Amino acid sequence: MLILLAVLSFIVLLGCTEQASTNTPLASNVTSETFDDILRPDDPHLSVEERRIVGRVQAYLEKNAEKSIDVRYKIQQAKEGFEVFAVLIRGYSNGHPLTSPGGHLTVILDSDGNVIRYIPGE
C-alpha cells in the first residue's frame, strides 16, 4: 500500500510540473502561405496606375470594415477596367503574413477606379 501511494504521488508531481513548449499555437484556421504575385499596397513593383487602383480598393475595404486593415493585392486588367484580388492578413508569424480560409475577395473597378462589384471569398 505504501508503494502504491508513493507511485501515485510521483505521477501527480510529474503531471504538475511546468512543461516548456517550443510550439506556439496559432489561431484556428490560420495559414501561412506564400503569395509571390500578391503585393503590399506600397510595393515598388506597382505602377502609378496600379497604386491608384489599390488606394481606391483599400479605401473601399476600410470604409466597409470601419477600421484600418492589412491587405495584399493582385491587379489584372479586365474588360470592365480592373480586377483586384485581395488577401486579408490576419497577423504575422516570424515576420510572415498569416491568412485564413475565406480571407480573400475580389473587387471589380471601372477604368476610372470606381467600384462596380464586390465578390467575397468563400
With respect to residue 2, please indicate whether it lies within any of the assigned structural domains: no
For residue 70, the enclosing domain spans 30-120
User: Over 60: is that where the pLDDT of 6 sits?
Assistant: no
With respect to residue 102, please indicate whether it lies within any of the assigned structural domains: yes
With respect to residue 20, please indicate whether it lies within any of the assigned structural domains: no
The total number of structural domains in the chain stands at: 1
With respect to residue 34, please indicate whether it lies within any of the assigned structural domains: yes
What are 60-112's pLDDT values in tens digits?
Answer: 999 999 999 999 999 999 998 999 999 999 999 999 999 989 999 999 999 99
Whether 105 contacts 120, CB under 8 Å: yes
Q: What is the separation of C-alpha 46 from the centre of its chain, rounded to a whole number of angstroms? A: 20
Whether 105 contacts 115, CB under 8 Å: no
Q: What is the pTM of this model?
A: 0.69
With respect to residue 80, please indicate whether it lies within any of the assigned structural domains: yes
What are 17-46's pLDDT values in tens digits?
Answer: 444 444 444 444 555 455 668 899 899 999
Residue recorded with cell 491568412: 99
With respect to residue 23, please indicate whether it lies within any of the assigned structural domains: no
The number of residues in the chain equals: 122
